[in-house]
Structure 1
């Protein structure tokens, strides 16, 4: 029954996010708000609504470590699993704006989160700073989009706004979406805690794996479909934007509503958050070389995610092969990834020098 509750909770979160986006976007459109603004706010917030709902519910209920674990785990999952899977389907194109602006911002906010959690917690003041960063980032994107013109608005947002719907229906979608998000988050958090207790592991491990992967389902669907359609730049932009939102809004708002500071345990500070920062940093050279994530790089991302998840589970269950697994990751997988990055960078520089 606990696993069934977990599955139903995930389904309710995804359905709730979809209805929330449709209702809120159309409602905003009926008030004359431009498609560009709706895309940067309502839709961007909506795709990360499951993470936000689960982390806020966790923080409010006193599971303060689960709130951080969900956001951190989602960021790791987004890059390694989603981009890995999407790139293995079709090589992903990286836009110039992503390389020059959005990826550096993702790295910056990841480092800020790491520095904030070095003392084992995120205080309400620090959470407020993160949320203020979200408001500044959204305002910056809006100003940038307005300067570029209305043609920068998302086509799907414009198509959604063109679909006629009465105000009462949009309000109904909005309310049902919110209700499903609240109910789904409640069931997901409660079932995750029960599963953690049954396996004898802490809540953070469940938050970093099952909950993080489940709340990232909207990003999975969006990025995989975009890759299959050939919209290979959308898949990457969706993931990078979601990661920025998870740190600034999910952690920020969770910390503001939590009656106590958000907790980051010793493992989170020593392993999981540094992995999140490392994954963000890995995007810089791979995105820069050739402005593309090819299938080999997609496979490397996927192998890194499998190794990370395997290590988490083995460590939580105290498996006897843990030292061998650590050595395999430290002395085989990570050096192989580093060697590939160096070779790819040198090849890209040689190609650029020949072209010039």
Structure 2
């Protein structure tokens, strides 16, 4: 048991270290080709913070661990929304732009509703399965979201500062190669060990996916948002969280379904309701009041709500 826990921790370390290495190397490489900080921030860095979820889900999907696939995505989104946004909001009240309230948060909510409909016979499916066709549909919508982001930047450009080191070509490729290796090895190790732990403790793969795997793969988002909050950069703090949730639903879950159709267990329904309710709560909190912001007391409610939710599903 101790060995399994140590291997799980090693998998998480390799996963996070690999993502950081890949981001550093790819950012330095892009800078050598005169790619702007804005483009680096919206592509390489954004992908890097979601790379752990993607790698874990690719392995879990290929190996047929459907509960870890859904548990990781739903659990990560709940962790992002309740824990990361809650901690960030406690550090500093989060003031957001109107586009976040009226566009990004509704898009995130739309993703939740769409995934629910696709897995509950509402859109022509004859089983609770996210099929390859469903996956391609979600990928198409993700492409439209990227186009929306591109148009938004064209009409209202905002520069994102990205720290890029001036590495030699050899060092850049070492970072990229070892970063990818860390992601692959760490992701495989994390999935395998999580399944072993679930068997050892008599826990379900669903619970492992919703808790340990989801929290572990969300660490890059947590670090990014906390640093942004400390620097009083609310746009990046909340944009990272909402953007990650959209990325998880429309790209990572879609990619998993394209690799292999994923059977959906209706025991995840409660977790989907919690995610939908939390998204609506954040929308209402930011919509009401004189300023479009999430106050500290509202952030505290998110944290307390998540702890109660976790206590309930663990007891259940």
TM-score class, shorter-chain normalisation, is over 0.9
Residue 43 of structure 2 corresponds to which residue in structure 1? 41
Q: Secondary structure at the match of 1:165?
A: coil
Note the residue ranges of structure 1 that are not aligned, 5 or more in a row: 316-356
Residue 60 of structure 1 corresponds to which residue in structure 2? 62
Q: 1:128-277 to 2 correspondence within 5 Å?
A: 128-149=136-157, 152-156=158-162, 159-160=163-164, 163-258=165-260, 261-268=261-268, 270-277=269-276
CA displacement, residues 70-124 of structure 1 (integer Å, 9 cap, x when unaligned) = 0110000101011111112221112222112111111111111111121422101
**Aligned mates of 1:82, 1:144 — CA distance in 2:** 25
The structure having more radius of gyration, on CA atoms, is 1
Residues 53, 192 of structure 1: alpha-carbon distance in 2 compared, 3 angstrom cutoff: same
Higher relative contact order (CA 8 A, sep 6+): 2
Give the RMSD, CA atoms, in angstroms.
Answer: 1.5
Q: Which runs of 4+ in 1 moved over 4 A?
A: none
Counterpart among 11, 31, 34 of residue 33 in structure 2: 31
**Aligned mates of 1:46, 1:176 — CA distance in 2:** 14
Checking the alignment, whether the CA contact within 8 Å between 1:40 and 1:138 is kept in structure 2 is: no
User: When the two structures are superposed, what TM-score results if normalisation uses the length of structure 2?
Assistant: 0.92
Counterpart among 50, 71, 74 of residue 73 in structure 2: 71
Checking the alignment, whether the CA contact within 8 Å between 1:105 and 1:244 is kept in structure 2 is: yes
Structure 1 residue 312 corresponds to structure 2 residue 297: no
Structure 1 residue 97 corresponds to structure 2 residue 96: no
CA apart distance, 1:294: 1.1
Structure 1 residue 297 corresponds to structure 2 residue 303: no
CA apart distance, 1:234: 2.1
How many residue pairs align between the two structures?
A: 306
Residues 56, 76 of structure 1: alpha-carbon distance in 2 compared, 3 angstrom cutoff: same
CA displacement, residues 197-231 of structure 1 (integer Å, 9 cap, x when unaligned) = 12212101110111101100001111112222222
Residue 87 of structure 1 corresponds to which residue in structure 2? 89
Decide which structure has greater helix share.
1
Residue 15 of structure 1 corresponds to which residue in structure 2? 17
CA apart distance, 1:181: 0.5
Residue 284 of structure 2 corresponds to which residue in structure 1? 285
Checking the alignment, whether the CA contact within 8 Å between 2:282 and 2:294 is kept in structure 1 is: no
CA apart distance, 1:25: 2.1
**Aligned mates of 2:9, 2:57 — CA distance in 1:** 17
**Aligned mates of 1:139, 1:170 — CA distance in 2:** 29
Checking the alignment, whether the CA contact within 8 Å between 1:56 and 1:253 is kept in structure 2 is: yes
User: When the two structures are superposed, what TM-score results if normalisation uses the length of structure 1?
Assistant: 0.82
Residues 40, 229 of structure 1: alpha-carbon distance in 2 compared, 3 angstrom cutoff: closer
